[in-house]
Amino acid sequence: MSWKSLELTGWGRNSHQTALTARPERQKDLQRAIGDSLAQSGLVAHGGLRAYGDQALPRGDDQHALLTTRMNRILAFDSATGIVTVEAGMCFRDMIRAFVPKGWLIPVSPGTAFATMGGAIANDIHGKNHDTQGSFCNHVLGFELITPDGNTQQVTPDHNLFRATIGGCGLTGVITTVTVQLKKISGNCVQVTETKIKDLESYLIAFDEAIAQNVDYTVGWIDGLAKGKRMGRGIFETATLSDETIELKPAKEKSVPIDFPALALNPLSVRSFNLLYRNRFLRKSRTTLTPFEAFNYPLDAISDWNRIYGKRGFHQFQCVIPRSEGERALPLLLDTIARSGAGSFLSVLKTMGGDGRGLLSFPMKGYTLALDFPHKAGVEALFRSLHKITADHGGRIYLAKDSMLTRDEFDAMYPNADEMRQVLASLPHSEKLTSQMAARLALTGDAA
């Protein structure tokens, strides 16, 4: 297996690390690469590199990083039951393109189609349908895991490493194959209704009504700069699975060719974007039939969109707040964000239906709010305030997006943090699987 020195970064491009990388294409190369790197300085597994922060970044330039996206084959599929086994480097786009035409849908998907099945397990990812479908790992029947001692384990929900691996940030081992239960569908699209919402109170009512009606998908876009009576205004989307099959037009490839200059993103440009976005249709609401990919992955329409934040990159704040605290915590968060004037477009509000199955799963019954911030002076202090509001109201920060939590903040938000440390400490050679995030949160290594 050949190893190449390469600079790696998360999707937020806010920190970088050079590492020795390999891109195996066959099971035997993958096994050899894992064996080589475990025998040396250790490794980090990489999927689509869509985690925003330092979660998939190695700790030093002598560490190995395993790039898994070419391990993307379908290994078994039962068309009667919808149970499929794939290699862990397979991404959501390939899953949708392979199985929707056969009448089966991956039941939970994140907001990008370039995340892989391995990455989806490592963060127990959620979609716009957490209330009705739970997290991704609720649909995972099992996976194959190569633990840091080099042994291969078949992990099913009753295995002792299941809870530590789902949402476990890749620290228990390298996931090589994943078995998922797909959902039967009869069309290839969703019927989406977008409604303009005037303030936060109306938003929370709209979510309550949609949950009561068991709507398949719900998501809200919020204008993060709106203050006072307008705070929380935005566009609310609900969607239901449709029986119709619509013609899929090949999307035009669009990309951001250069890193934008730092000044391009300022309150004026964000305000103008938000105004245009809010007025992209004139009536109070509209309903359309939309293909799964266009509905689930609107941001993927422009590849490398992360370059609009310039060379210094950006951070995403994403928290979940318990349902009972939403009315109190969300106004505080939105007010702090609006006053800072530092937020960008794309502030997203969703609901979550309950806890995930992993020790470090992010979801809890409540509201999740996400917003991007350019990496510049003052952003860390702002995140500390947002972390404090989150923790004071019993919420937590999503590790897939994080690069700033301190160990103390993390411990206050994740009640199973110590149990996770114990599981990792009990795994022979667990020090061989680590990352910058694991060190920062003292999950593995010297600080644990």
Residues contributing to the site for ligand FAD (CB under 6 A): 11, 44-51, 55-56, 68, 88, 110-112, 115-116, 118-120, 122-123, 125-127, 169-170, 174-175, 299, 400
What is the nearest approach in angstroms of ligand FAD to the Cβ of residue 127? 6
C-alpha neighbours within 13 Å on the C-beta side of residue 248: 17
Rg, C-alpha atoms of the chain:
21
What is the nearest approach in angstroms of ligand FAD to the Cβ of residue 404? 16
What is the nearest approach in angstroms of ligand FAD to the Cβ of residue 411? 19
What is the nearest approach in angstroms of ligand FAD to the Cβ of residue 339? 26
Of 120 and 155, which has the nearer Cβ to ligand FAD?
120
Of 72 and 340, which has the nearer Cβ to ligand FAD?
72
Alpha helix (H) residue ranges in 100-151: 117-122, 130-133
Of 99 and 136, which has the nearer Cβ to ligand FAD?
136
Long-range contacts from 431-434, C-beta under 8 angstroms, 24+ separation = 431/42, 431/148, 432/37, 432/38, 432/42, 432/43, 432/148, 433/42, 433/43, 433/44, 433/148, 433/170, 433/171, 433/172, 433/173, 433/174, 434/42, 434/44, 434/58, 434/59, 434/63, 434/171
β-strand partners of 220: 236, 349
Of 231 and 297, which has the nearer Cβ to ligand FAD?
297
Of 125 and 231, which has the nearer Cβ to ligand FAD?
125
- Determine the Cα–Cα distance for residues 205 and 208; give it in Å rounded to an integer: 5
Of 110 and 326, which has the nearer Cβ to ligand FAD?
110
- Determine the Cα–Cα distance for residues 141 and 159; give it in Å rounded to an integer: 11
What is the nearest approach in angstroms of ligand FAD to the Cβ of residue 43? 9
**CA-to-CA dists, residue 55 to 10, 99, 303, 361, 399, angstroms:** 8, 30, 22, 15, 8
What is the nearest approach in angstroms of ligand FAD to the Cβ of residue 169? 4
